[in-house]
Amino acid sequence: MPLFGTDGVRGLANGILTADLALSLAQATAVVLGQGRSAEARKAQGLRTSVVLGRDPRISGDFLGAAVSAGLAASGIDVYDAGVVPTPALAFLVADRDADFGVMISASHNPAPDNGIKIFARGGVKLPDEVERRIEQALEGPMLLPTGGDVGRINRFSDAEDRYVLHLLGSLPHRLDGIHVVLDCAHGAAAGVSPETFRDAGAKVTVIGADPDGVNINDGVGSTHLDLLAQAVVAAGADVGIAHDGDADRCLAVDANGEIIDGDQIMAILAASMKERGALKDDTLVATVMSNLGLHVAMRERGITVLQAAVGDRYVLEHMNAGGYSLGGEQSGHVIMSEFATTGDGILTGLHLVAEMARTGKTMAELASIMQKYPQVMINVKNVDRTRTDDEVVQAAVATVVAELGESGRVLLRASGTEQLVRVMVEAASEDDAQRHAQHLAGVVAERLAL
């Protein structure tokens, strides 16, 4: 069974993800990423192989971080421990330090008992599948460990957060003076750096979800629980609310009335602004197949092409890198601005979103009105053969619904990657139409693909 999932190695800390596994994974990663031509060339120049290590504030990050540090140092790698930092900060710091790779200990939006290990290659980019497979293979082989002065050193990366904040502030096209922002930091990695950065950028800041204790990360707060943020924005009379997840690679928002602004709306706002400023490469936005039809309509009206990738920020990144595109993301709030980041960055996204309010003088509700969301109904059809979605009767039923909806709707059948389950998604001009068509298609799938 593969060790790596869609975003690193993730599981119950001290269950699946033990200190022994973390140490062994670190050593295997050192074999794959700390050797080869690049490493040899650096050694020839008198440079030591180095890695930047970061984590979110989960309590299990302490022992997992210690295990990873031990494994890397025992393999001859110098470790620069950045402490608690957002995942996108870790990616930036790998490039900023010209480190050979980076390791982030975080389970993102998962609950506190979980944790994960994400690995970034040189330049702060995520690993391709092939490299992950090589690391898994290295786990099975012998580990040739150095001795004496060739073992690695573990150093405190004392100015890591300052470097990241300066990078964020330097990316802004406009200051945030005069705007009152409520930040929900999910009791996670953004708790220190996000409020500091927004204040330095000129915003008035009210903070919630910024008291991490190791076990409360994502617990009723953050981008997966927006009710508290909406209430706080309305109660404070603030202009906008920004929500991060546990490792701050996501950003969702609420307007002054407490209405949710999702990732599709955020991408629409940023894409239109970037096109106006000549910063949107080839007037193209990369989204996923799950993005709302309203995003496609809004972008088409403004002369912006929307490319569709499979679900997952790694697939969005693949499309962006292939075409050199400057903006992409997901409905969930993973937004990638490739001029400034190699991965989704919730703080960067939030800053640029609020900067657009400051630049235009518009409210968040006015900016979000660029896109009208189509009603979207999703039904998970369980206990079906997910490999047979090409069934003739199923495809004929889909074709009939697509023809009836025309340009005012959309149908997507998506097989689960891990369960015997097929997701039926229908968008339509009305909630009733979306529900009716989704229920009909779900029934056909359940009957035809039953196990």
> For 389-413, how does the pLDDT look when each residue is reduced to its tens digit (9 = 90+)?
999 999 999 999 999 998 889 999 9
pLDDT of residue 351: 98
Could you tell me what percent of the chain has a pLDDT over 90? 89
- Mean pLDDT value of segment 59-69: 98
Closest CA to 189 of 144, 249, 231: 249
The 10s digit of each residue's pLDDT in 230-251 is 999 999 999 999 999 999 999 9
Distance CA 129, CA 446 (A): 33
pLDDT of residue 143: 83
The 10s digit of each residue's pLDDT in 299-358 is 999 999 999 998 888 899 999 999 999 999 999 999 999 999 999 999 999 999 999 999
Q: Set out the domains of the chain in order of their start, with CATH numbers.
A: 9-158 (3.40.120.10), 163-368 (3.40.120.10), 376-448 (3.30.310.50)
194 marked among binding-site residues: no
Could you tell me what percent of the chain has a pLDDT over 70? 97
Q: Which residues are catalytic?
A: 108
Beta strands, E only, 149-261: 154-156, 180-184, 204-208, 240-243, 252-255, 260-261
282 marked among binding-site residues: no
Strands 421-427 and 376-382: what pairing? Answer: antiparallel
pTM: 0.92
249 marked among binding-site residues: yes
- Mean pLDDT value of segment 115-141: 93
- Mean pLDDT value of segment 1-11: 86
pLDDT of residue 46: 73
**CB contact set of 191 (below 8 Å; sequence gap of 6+):** 57, 185, 209, 210, 211, 212
What is the distance in angstroms between the CA of the first residue and the CA of the last residue of the chain?
Answer: 24
Closest CA to 417 of 310, 336, 314: 310
pLDDT of residue 170: 97
User: How far is Cα of residue 448 from the mean position of the Cα atoms in its chain?
Assistant: 36
Binned at pLDDT 50, 70 and 90, residue 1 comes out as: low
In DSSP notation, 113-129 reads TEEEEEEEETTTEEPPH
pLDDT of residue 34: 84
pLDDT of residue 444: 95
